[in-house]
């Protein structure tokens, strides 16, 4: 497979290009070009204190961005890259402040997607936040990017993304790794590989280490809430996401996931967007908890709780 030259040229000329990764689509720009990075913040409407992830295609690129890569970090990179795990590392001076929002750390990830890797191998490292306008759910299809940005952004179409929710963000600047944002790679998987304690940042603390966690993301226009009772089904203006429960409702607006949490992750943001485009007033989700032991569950609970708001 080979990417059309226009995408590569656009990045080299300092423009932004949306591209697929295995998690969600990213809004890519040259990580060494301050004007291109400024465009990302402007187009997305992103607060300037929220740093960006640098996406790489080659392990050696880590060493031009970060200093002090610990042994446990190397083990995790060996095991999980390319993949949905982002590392927060102490940055080298050459990394632009615009990328890190002035922090002394930089977030780096090697995405597991053929098109993303090919693009980055031809352009060099790319900053890429999720390719949605701030405040809308992250895009898992090229059409979602087009719905948010129209024709103002070039989109490299790679179909639907496989994972569907954003990468796990892991702070590896200290003795033990700390999960700053849960994703499909969970605490247990990380621990099995690096064989150290794995901590989780207190979500909801007043000064989160991952600035993005303080913003309300992932929200459709429709209200999102948990299913409370069977009576909720007497409502044609809600879209229902059922994990296991069968229902004999007369309405057609019920999606059954049959206990498949990976499918729920893959479809969650698309269902949020579907609710808005079909004018549903609510998205009602059957409650579930971590007893199901799928690593994606804490990440799903995090995204759904944020969509519900508090
Ligand atoms: O799966 C993903 O990570 C997607 C795809 C496109 O790669 N990208 C993504 O980017 O979700 P974004 O910008 O929407 O979220 C990046 C998260 C934010 O919560 C941000 O605050 C955090 O990573 N982050 C970035 N740099 C950081 C740093 N130096 N220290 C702590 N958190 C950082
Ligand atoms: Mg985002």
Pocket of ligand 1 (CB under 6 A): 21, 23-24, 26, 50-53, 84, 86, 88, 100, 103, 105-107, 109, 111, 128-130, 166-167, 169, 180-181, 209-213
Query: Looking at residue 205, what is its pLDDT?
Result: 45
Phi-psi map region of 98: left, alpha, beta (phi>0 left; psi -120 to 50 alpha): alpha
Pair of tokens at residue 300: 């799903």
CATH number 3.40.50.300 given to 5-200: no
User: Distance between CA 21 and CA 116 in Å, rounded?
Assistant: 6
Q: Are 145 and 18 in contact (CB under 8 A)?
A: yes
Atom of ligand 1 nearest to the CA of 163: 1
CA 138 – ligand 2 centroid, Å: 6
**Which of the residues in the chain have pLDDT under 50?**
204-206
In this structure, which residue's CA is closest to atom 6 in ligand 1?
26
152 DSSP 8-state letter? G
- pTM, to two decimals: 0.95
Question: Domain map of the chain by residue range?
Answer: 5-200, 223-308
Pair of tokens at residue 181: 């944002």
Query: Looking at residue 201, what is its pLDDT?
Result: 87
Residue 12: CB atoms within 10 A of its CB come to 14
Residue 202: CB atoms within 10 A of its CB come to 11
Query: Looking at residue 234, what is its pLDDT?
Result: 83
Query: Looking at residue 210, what is its pLDDT?
Result: 67
Query: Looking at residue 204, what is its pLDDT?
Result: 45
User: Distance between CA 94 and CA 169 in Å, rounded?
Assistant: 22
Atom of ligand 1 nearest to the CA of 91: 29
CA 258 – ligand 1 centroid, Å: 31
Locate the DSSP E strands across the chain: 17-19, 26-30, 53-55, 85-90, 105-109, 126-127, 154-155, 168-171, 178-181, 199-200, 223-226, 238-242, 254-256, 282-285
Query: Looking at residue 280, what is its pLDDT?
Result: 97
In this structure, which residue's CA is closest to atom 17 in ligand 1?
212
């Amino acid at each position: 497979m080979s990417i059309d030259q226009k995408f590569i040229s656009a990045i080299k000329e300092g423009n932004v290009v949306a591209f697929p990764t295995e998690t969600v689509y990213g809004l890519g720009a040259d990580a060494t070009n301050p004007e291109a990075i400024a465009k990302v913040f402007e187009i997305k409407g992103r607060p300037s204190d929220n740093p960006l992830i640098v996406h790489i295609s080659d392990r050696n690129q880590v060493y031009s961005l970060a200093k002090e890569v610990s042994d446990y970090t190397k083990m995790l990179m060996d095991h999980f890259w390319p993949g949905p795990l982002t590392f927060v590392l102490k940055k080298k001076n050459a990394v632009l402040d615009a990328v890190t929002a002035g922090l002394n750390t930089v977030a780096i990830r090697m995405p597991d997607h053929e098109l993303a890797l090919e693009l980055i191998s031809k352009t060099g490292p790319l900053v890429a936040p999720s390719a949605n306008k701030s405040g809308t759910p992250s895009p898992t299809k090229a059409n979602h990017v087009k719905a948010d940005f129209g024709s103002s952004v070039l989109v490299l179409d790679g179909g639907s993304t496989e994972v569907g929710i954003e990468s796990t963000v892991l702070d590896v600047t200290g003795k033990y790794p700390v999960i700053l944002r849960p994703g499909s790679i969970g605490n247990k998987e990380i621990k099995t590989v690096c064989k150290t304690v794995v901590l989780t940042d207190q979500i909801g603390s007043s000064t989160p280490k991952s600035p993005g966690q303080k913003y309300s993301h992932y929200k459709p226009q429709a209200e999102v809430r948990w299913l409370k009772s069977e009576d909720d089904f007497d409502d044609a203006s809600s879209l229902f996401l059922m994990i296991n429960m069968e229902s004999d409702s007369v309405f057609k607006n019920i999606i059954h996931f049959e206990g498949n949490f990976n499918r729920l992750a893959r479809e969650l943001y698309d269902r949020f967007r579907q609710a808005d485009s079909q004018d549903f007033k609510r998205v009602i989700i059957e409650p579930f908890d971590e007893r199901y032991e799928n690593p994606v569950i804490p990440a799903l609970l995090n995204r759904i709780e944020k969509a519900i708001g508090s």
